[in-house]
Amino acid sequence: MANMIEIKYPDNSRRVYESGVTAIEAMKGYTLPTDRALLAAEIDGVAVDLSTVLTSNVAINPLTFDSALGKEVYWHTSAHILAQAVQAVFPSAKLAIGPPIDTGFYYDFDFERPFTPEDLTRIEEEVHLIMKEDYPLKRIEFSQQDAIPVFQKRGEGYKVEIIESIDDPSVSMYQQGNFIDLCRGPHVSSTGQIGAFKVLSGAGAYWRGDERNPMLQRIYGVSFPTQKELDQHLILLEEAKRRDHRKLGKELGLFSVSEETGPGLILWHPKGAMVRHLIETFWREQHIKRGYEFVYSPHIARRNLWKQSGHLDFYQENMFAAMSVENNPYQLKPMNCPFHIMIYKSSLRSYRDLPLRWAELGTVYRYERSGVLHGLFRVRGFTQDDAHIFCRPAQLADEVASIIKFTFSTLRRFGFEYFEIFLSTRPDHAVGSDEDWQHATDSLKSALELLDISYTTDPGEGVFYGPKIDIKIRDVLGRAWQCSTIQLDFNLPLRFGLSFIGPDGKPHQPIMIHRALLGSVERFMGILIEHFAGAFPSWLAPIQVKVLTLGEAQTSYANDIMLQLAGHGLRAEADLRSEKMNLKIREAETAKIPYMLVVGDKEVTARTVSIRKRTKGQAGTMKLDTFIEMLKEEILEHSSSAITPTLSTNNSN
């Protein structure tokens, strides 16, 4: 009798097949909940080709373009098609890597020169021919030893280097037509499954992101099942270019980066510094309201501190080189955690003292390779909105729930309404007992369920020292950003021998919670610039009001207006130049100032102001006091943030 296996489907139905059935055969009896094409399958949480043979009881899930894993498979195949097209047009181009990314895919090539726009057009034409040919994608498995000659014969040195670095006796490749590439997969079944394809742009990129390695030529692309979806995406890309924080940061005078200072180190200009000040002031006020205390820590410490914390073992490649101080090695801090721990250790702690909630806007320094630096999003020096909570195990669920509510109210203050919550559990390599991990994970779940929050479980994606909750926001373009995190830590309290005296008079180990709401001030600022396209809401705008005079006769009244605005804590500038009013208005609009107060002889006589609102034009004439109260009410209205968030309806717990 043949060996039979049971297949479980997403609707909890089950079917029995003979062992050796393929994933696509097992999916034939299941009706997809969408009219999307079946791309691949997820078997017990792992994405696989549809040709994968099943030999044991499994849970199977269809992957279409509507799922994150489905998009990854789709875009991964598209990257292979791009690589095949490049080598068809430019046979001397050598393959490096071509992964899917959040917004499509790219492929890196070793080529003697940068690709021109004309080159990209030719490549895209070849892509469409490959799609039309509908080549099947065939998976081939080799031993590591036998795989090396395959790519040596093709002159693909980068692939040989990758194979030699793989700690696995077998490797897989995929072939489509006469093109073959080293790849783990999975992929769609054939090149004809890709519907609409666009080659976007070229750029330089160092091999493995290291400037000491050769400069490669990177080509970005994106693909969708339909041309309509692709066209909509291209419109969003154009809007994203318009909102690029690097471009707006320069145009609005918010920040800059100087080669003389060093890449990845941000210089904050007065207007950008004002926005940052407003963010940080709000942050501090809210922490005080919620029972946090502030601490400050130095920018360097003895290298031994980082050895004890484990950063030298796990994080050294992201740390700057040590410096010598009186023959002792010191290190720029990549994290704030060890300093807060040393403050904890400075006194004997009782269970009555806990929880201790310590917060710091602490600037840290991490060595990022120049090839990955990106405006405010990827820098070498940045300020974390860091906090650490030291608590007893019994306090854990309540503390986490409080942090989640704090996170939502903070993010809503900045205009973010949609959140996705992820609970990451124990990875394969972790410190701490099973009992500790279970208690910590249960505490995170309890906090989420107490607040009736939907969440997705990421099995095995916790950090080595404890489980965590990550919160993603979506901006006005629908892009997801990881900012907030809540991480439980058994490792550092153990490494540093932290304890508190319990009710039994004996020492006990506290649990440490690492917590960030914004992530880093720099990155969050970049997200805000792009979310608002530089047009900050009134409470956050560096200049809230611009006073514009028709001529010199209104100067005295304009100065009086400025004094009154300042007296009410409002940020204003006056344009008293002898220029045409249309020019003054246009410049104020370009600077994205929320309100303009136009002052002529009529306004001077009536002691009024003529109001123009950003992008909306004329908004009437009123007494200055009335305008001030209106603006203050607007700021106050935006300041009120409800605790209950708009949440993802996805619940995979």
Domain of 80, CATH number, reads 3.30.980.10
- Cα(199)–Cα(104) distance, rounded to whole angstroms? 10
Identity of the amino acid at 466? G
pLDDT in tens, 163-207: 999 888 899 999 999 999 999 999 999 999 999 999 999 999 889
Q: Are residues 77 and 58 in the same domain?
A: no
Query: Quick check: is 435 in a domain?
Result: no
Is residue 1 pLDDT above 80, yes or no?
no
Q: Are residues 29 and 128 in the same domain?
A: no
Q: Is 386 a catalytic residue?
A: yes
Q: Residue 582 domain-assigned?
A: yes
Say whether both 512 and 571 belong to one domain.
Answer: no
**Residue 386 belongs to a domain:** yes
177-182-185 Cα angle (round to 5): 85
316 part of the active site: no
Task: Say if residue 15 is in the same domain as residue 87.
Answer: no
48 and 101 together in one domain = no
Integer Cα distance of 445 and 400 in angstroms: 10
288/385 same-domain check: yes
- Spell out where 504-604 has E strands: 507-508, 511-520, 545-549, 572-575, 595-599
Quick one: tokens of 542? 């560096």
Share of the chain above pLDDT 90, in %: 82
User: 144 — phi, psi (to 5°)?
Assistant: -55, -40
Range of the domain at 492: 268-297+336-418+487-532
- Does 107 score more than 50 pLDDT? yes
Lowest mean pLDDT among 225-234, 444-453, 596-605: 444-453
Q: What is the pLDDT of residue 552?
A: 93
Find where tokens 């493995």 sit: 208
Listed residues 227, 242, 257: the one ending a domain: 242
Handedness of CA 379, 381, 384, 389 (dihedral sign): positive
Q: Report residue 638's pLDDT band, with 50, 70 and 90 as the boundaries.
A: low
In a shared domain, residues 216 and 345:
no
- The CATH number for 619's domain is 3.40.50.800
Choice among 49, 386, 436, 470 that is catalytic? 386
**How confident is residue 643, by pLDDT bands cut at 50, 70 and 90?**
very low
Residue 464 falls within a domain, yes or no? Answer: no
Q: Are residues 523 and 596 in the same domain?
A: no
Choice among 245, 349, 514, 612 that is catalytic: 514
Query: Which secondary-structure segment (H or E) carries 268?
Result: strand 266-268
84/210 same-domain check: yes
CA distance 252 to 537: 15
Mean pLDDT of 554-568: 96
- Whether residue 287 lies in the annotated active site: no
Decide: 180 and 150 in contact? Cβ < 8 Å: yes
Question: Mind listing the pLDDT tens digit for each residue in 356-385?
Answer: 999 999 999 999 887 788 999 999 999 999
| Distinct helix (H) and strand (E) counts, the chain | 19, 36
Catalytically annotated residue among 71, 87, 181, 337: 337
Query: Which amino acid is located at 327 in the chain?
Result: N
Residue 637 predicted with pLDDT over 80: no
**pLDDT of amino acid 631:** 95
Confidence at residue 639, expressed as pLDDT on a 0 to 100 scale: 56
- Beta strands in 425-479, from DSSP E residues, in sequence order: 456-458, 468-474
Say yes or no to pLDDT of 587 above 50. Answer: yes
Contact 611, 538 (CB under 8 A): no
Last residue of a domain, one of 224, 242, 260: 242
Q: Are 75 and 30 members of one domain? A: no
Active site residue 468: yes
Asked whether the predicted pLDDT for residue 76 surpasses 70, the reply is yes
C-alpha distances (whole Å) from 258 to each of 83, 108, 265, 277 are: 36, 28, 8, 22
Same domain, 512 and 366: yes
| Catalytic annotation, pick one of 87, 176, 331, 384 | 384
Q: What is the mean pLDDT of residues 544-551?
A: 96
| Least-confidence region, from 12-21, 193-202, 520-529 | 12-21
Which one of the listed residues 303, 333, 468, 614 is annotated catalytic? Answer: 468
Q: CA angle 480-481-487, nearest 5°?
A: 125
CA nearest to 53, candidates 28, 26, 16, 20: 20
CA distance linking residue 621 with residue 623, whole number of Å: 7
Looking at the fold, whether 215 and 76 belong to one and the same domain comes out as yes
Helix (H), strand (E), coil (C) string for 146-197: HHHHHHHHCCCHHHHHHHHHCCCCEEEEEEECCEEEECCCCCCCEHHHCCEE
The catalytically annotated residue of 311, 366, 369, 426 is 366
Cα Rg of the chain (Å, integer): 29
Collapsed DSSP state (helix, strand, coil) of residue 85: helix
Euclidean distance between CA atoms 52 and 187, whole angstroms = 11
- What is the number of structural domains in the chain? 4
388 has catalytic annotation: yes
- Look-up of token digits 């997809």: 32
Residue 262, pLDDT above cutoff 60: yes
Beta pairing class for 323-325 and 418-424: unpaired
DSSP 611-645: EEETTTEEEEEEEHHHHHHHHHHHHHHHH---SSP
Residue 354: CATH number of its domain? 3.30.930.10
Q: Is residue 237 one of the residues assigned to a domain?
A: yes
Within a domain: 15: yes
Domain membership of residue 260 (yes or no) is: no
Is 224 among the domain residues?
A: yes
